[in-house]
Amino acid sequence: MDLDRVAPQLRQPARRAAIPMVERALVRRVVGAATALMPAARVAGVTIERRAVGRGVRLYRPSRAGSDGALLFIHGGGFVIGAAVINDRLCAEAAATLGITVLSAEYRLAPEHPYPAALDDVRAAWAGLGAVAASLGVDPARVVVGGESAGGGLAAALVARLHDEGGVQPAGQLLFCPMLDDRTAADRTLDEVGHFVWDNRRNRFGWRSYLAAEPGAPDVPPDAAPARRASLAGLPPAWIGYGTIELFGAEDAAYAERLRAAGVAVDEDVVEGAPHGFETWAPDSSLARGHRRRAWAWLGSVLGVPLAG
C-alpha cells in the first residue's frame, strides 16, 4: 500500500508501527518477553494495579470516581501476541475521562492455546468482575465490554455468549478495529494490498493459530468468529471504530450494518486514512485523540457519565 494513502499526520508513526513476524515462534517469545518488561503507563489521576480476577486483570482506578459503571477491556495482538499492559494508556484515559473503573483482561494466546481458550478466559474475567463488583463500587449491570483488534473480536464474541447464556448482560460493546471474520484471512487477493501494521498474511496466521484450522472453512464456530453468527438480534448497543485503509474495514462495516438490521443501535466512527490500531500507536495525533474522545463520549452516554473537561 502506498504511504500517500495514509493520513499525513500518521505517516511517520505508521513506518514504525509494523507488527513483527509473528509467524515465527522465536519472535513471539521475544515479543512476549519484551511485553512482560513494559513499565506501567503513568496517567495523572489514575492508579494501575494487578488483580487476581479470572486469569488476571489490570485495574485502572481514577481518583475522580464519578460512576458505578465500568469497562471490561480486552487487548489485541492477533490472538498470538500481546498483554493487557499494551493498552495501559488507552484504559487509563477512559478511567480518567469518565471517572469509571476499567479492568483489562489477560488471556491465553494461540497457537499454544487455540479457541476456545481466549474466549473462556475473558468469560472468566466477566464472572470474576461480577464477583468483586461490590468491593470495587461497580454495578454489574452497568459494565461495557470493549476491546481492540483481536480483543475487539473477543469482546464481540463475549457479549454474544453472554446473550445466549442469559443472566446479567453488558450495557454495551466498544470495539476498536475489531477482528471479526476469519473469511477475510482466507481471501488471498488481500495479500498483495500490503496493509499497514497488520496485513493479511499475518491475519491468516492469527486466525489459523486461533482456530487450529485454516480460516474460511464452512464449519468455523460462530463464537470463534463473531461475523459468522446467524442472528445478532438482542445484542447490546455498539460503538465500532476503524480507519478507511484498515484490513478489517470491510468486515467491520458489514458487522455494523448487520447489527443495525437486527435492531441493535450502532455508532460507527470511520477515520479517513487511518491504518489498523492507530489509536494506540499514534496516540498523540489529533486523529487518534478525536477518535478516542468520540469513543469515550459514546461510552459515557451508555453509562450516563459526562466527559471530564
Q: What is the CATH number of the domain that holds 208?
A: 3.40.50.1820
Query: For the whole prediction, is pTM greater than 0.85?
Result: yes
Q: Per-residue pLDDT tens for 280-289? A: 999 999 999 9
Residue 165 maps to a domain? yes
Confidence tier at 43 by pLDDT (50, 70, 90): confident
Identify the weakest region by mean pLDDT among 16-25, 47-56, 163-172, 261-270.
16-25
Check residue 64 and give its pLDDT.
78
Give pLDDT, residue 209: 98
Within a 10 A sphere around the Cβ of 49, how many other Cβ atoms?
10
Whether the pLDDT of residue 65 is over 80: the answer is no
State the pLDDT at residue 308: 72
Number of domains in the chain: 1
| Closest alpha carbon to 271 in 245, 238, 239, 298 | 245
* pLDDT value for 18: 79
Please indicate, yes or no, if residue 15 is contained in any of the structural domains: yes
Quick check: is 128 in a domain? yes
Lowest mean per-residue pLDDT among 39-43, 90-94, 157-161: 39-43
Instruction: Quote the mean pLDDT of the chain.
Output: 95
Tens of pLDDT, residues 66-75? 789 999 999 9
Domain that holds residue 252: 3-303
Confidence at 309, pLDDT banded by 50, 70, 90: low
Whole-number percent of the chain with pLDDT over 70? 100
Q: Which residues contact 163 (CB under 8 A, 6 or more apart)?
A: 169, 234, 235
* Confidence grade of residue 22 (pLDDT, cut at 50, 70, 90): very high
Q: Which cell goes with 10?
A: 500518521
Residues 185-209 pLDDT 10s: 999 999 999 999 999 999 999 999 9
For residue 157, is it within any domain? yes
Output the pLDDT for position 67.
87
How confident is the model over 231-248, as pLDDT tens digits? 999 999 999 999 999 999
Q: What pLDDT is recorded for position 44?
A: 87
Over residues 244-298, the pLDDT tens digits come to 999 999 999 999 999 999 999 999 999 999 999 999 999 999 999 999 999 999 9
Compute the average pLDDT of residues 20-42: 91
Cα distances from 97 to residues 43, 66, 173, 276, 306, in angstroms, run: 11, 10, 18, 24, 9
309 belongs to a structural domain:
no
Amino acid identity of 30? Answer: V
What digits encode the pLDDT tens for the residues 100-139? 999 999 999 999 999 999 999 999 999 999 999 999 999 9
Domain assignment present for 308:
no
Tell me, what's the pLDDT at 200?
A: 97
